[in-house]
Structure 1
Amino acid sequence: MSHGERPHGNGRLVTGVAWAVLLLGLWLWGRGITDVHGLSAPTTGDAAAVGRPLGVKLPPAHRPLAAVPPQRVDIGALKIQAPVVARGLDGNGAIDPPPFSRADEVGWYGGGAKPGERGTALLVGHVDTDTRPAVFYRLSSAKPGDTVRVARDDGSVAEFTVDDVQVFSRARFDAKKAYGQRQSDRAELRLITCGGSYDRASRSYTANVVVSAYLTGASSPR
């Protein structure tokens, strides 16, 4: 494959990721703020939630950290370890995700909150390519209580705990529920990928998996 050539069929993946972040861009634009795909079973209704398993006690929130850009994300329970790269918005108002030649990278919306600071930081990733799983292939298997570690540029690590996993249908998507900050004094994180089933007619997935987490720990900079 020559340099710059896209793998066959990658349009379906671009459509799936861009759909979610396009809505994010429009929501941010409409609110005038900057606080702010894992294959999954098809959702029923507007949103399907995993919920909190019985016996899972979630830790208290940690105070927000200084604003430092992310370097890597590590979700041990899902065997996800990946570099994080800053991405901006394209001409359509959608976050420009990492190219499919780098489908093992996670995109961070650099125009929003940095992971660990107060607000909602957003990480997006592809679910698959035509030939293999991509970085967030297992994201839909996340469960409340799972730990998400984000290594940051200053050597510190922001540790988040998953508290909610939902699959939002494309037909009735609620951007506020997906991206909005749950508690104004917390540092929160959203990890997003495509979900539901693949619709060949529209060349896109029918839903988005949204994993919500909040800061519960941190290591000091090296």
Structure 2
Amino acid sequence: MNAQVKGQAWLLVVAVFIGVWLIRTGSEETTPPTPPPSEAFAAGPGPGSSLPPHQRQKSPGPQPATTATPLPPSTPVRLRIPALHVDTPLTDLALTPDGSLEVPPADNANLAGWYRDGPSPGTKGTAIVAGHVDNARGPAVFYALGSLRKGHRIEVTRQDGRTAEFTVDAVEVYTNENFPDRKVYGAADRAELRLITCGGGFSKRTGYQGNVVAYAHLTNTH
């Protein structure tokens, strides 16, 4: 998986590539799930969802009553997605000398990474968490990310002992050529979260052709 950074000091665009893994049952091949159009922003809000920052600027309106007050900064240590049975520790990710985002070790299937030079989950702004969809041995931590639905819950446990709870606003898939960097990584006026993994079709020559991105905003803390 590789994340290419453009422009600003922190992330603006990602292109994620790793080797393919297919579940084989006889002659049947199954690839990671792709989010349906009904889970995109264009399909309208789901339970607890709202527009992303760039759309709120164009069409201002009241924020959902469930939007929680952002927390002070604190390092995230664990992420859970109950609907997908995901429970993963988080490692820090930085930028490499060529401007790309470090990725979690590919040999650890159950490990996601947080971009440490961006906002921490629960604080004001857009926090970024990336994870592999698969590795050479099979599905990895974000294999089922495309199965997330609007209204699903994401929990991030932080070093300060607090848990930040996010509600999914949308799940979208993009090709590498049409990746909406500002929509995904743009600044937010509340606490938001993005989960990113490979997706968008697969080529044996170049790997995955795009990314699946889950958008969420902070709705509760405890």
Question: Does TM-score exceed 0.5, indicating one fold?
Answer: yes
5+ residue gaps, structure 2, are 17-30, 49-64
Matched residue, 1:197: 201
CA gap of 1:206–1:200, structure 2 versus 1, over 3 A, is same
Matched residue, 1:148: 154
CA distance in structure 1 between the partners assigned to 2:177 and 2:217 by the alignment? 27
1:210 aligns with 2:213: yes
Does the residue aligned with 1:120 lie in a helix, a strand or coil?
strand
CA distance in structure 2 between the partners assigned to 1:90 and 1:98 by the alignment? 13
CA gap of 1:70–1:96, structure 2 versus 1, over 3 A, is same
Kindly, what percent of the aligned residue pairs are identical? 38
Matched residue, 1:51: 40
More strand by share: 2
Does the residue aligned with 1:31 lie in a helix, a strand or coil?
coil
Does the residue aligned with 1:206 lie in a helix, a strand or coil?
strand
CA distance in structure 2 between the partners assigned to 1:116 and 1:95 by the alignment? 21
Q: Which amino acid aligns with 1:50?
A: E
CA contact (8 A) 2:66 2:220 kept: no
CA contact (8 A) 2:171 2:214 kept: yes
CA distance in structure 2 between the partners assigned to 1:31 and 1:146 by the alignment? 31
- Give the superposition deviation at 1:34: 7.4
CA distance in structure 1 between the partners assigned to 2:89 and 2:146 by the alignment? 19
- Give the superposition deviation at 1:177: 1.5
Residues 17-74 of structure 1: CA deviation (Å, up to 9, x unaligned): 21xx21xx21xxx23467996923499xxxx662378894315210110000100000
2:169 maps to which of 160, 163, 166 = 163
CA contact (8 A) 1:71 1:83 kept: yes
Q: Which amino acid aligns with 1:197?
A: G
Matched residue, 2:118: 112
CA contact (8 A) 1:150 1:157 kept: yes
Does the residue aligned with 1:193 lie in a helix, a strand or coil?
strand
What does 1:26-175 correspond to in 2, within 5 Å? 26=6, 30-32=7-9, 39-41=32-34, 50-51=39-40, 56-58=46-48, 60-175=66-181
- Give the superposition deviation at 1:132: 1.3
- Using the size of structure 1 for normalisation, the TM-score is 0.77
CA gap of 1:39–1:120, structure 2 versus 1, over 3 A, is same
CA distance in structure 2 between the partners assigned to 1:199 and 1:119 by the alignment? 34
- Using the size of structure 2 for normalisation, the TM-score is 0.77
CA distance in structure 2 between the partners assigned to 1:205 and 1:34 by the alignment? 20
- Give the superposition deviation at 1:207: 1.2
- Give the paired residue count: 189
CA contact (8 A) 1:83 1:106 kept: yes
RMSD: 2.5
Does the residue aligned with 1:176 lie in a helix, a strand or coil?
helix
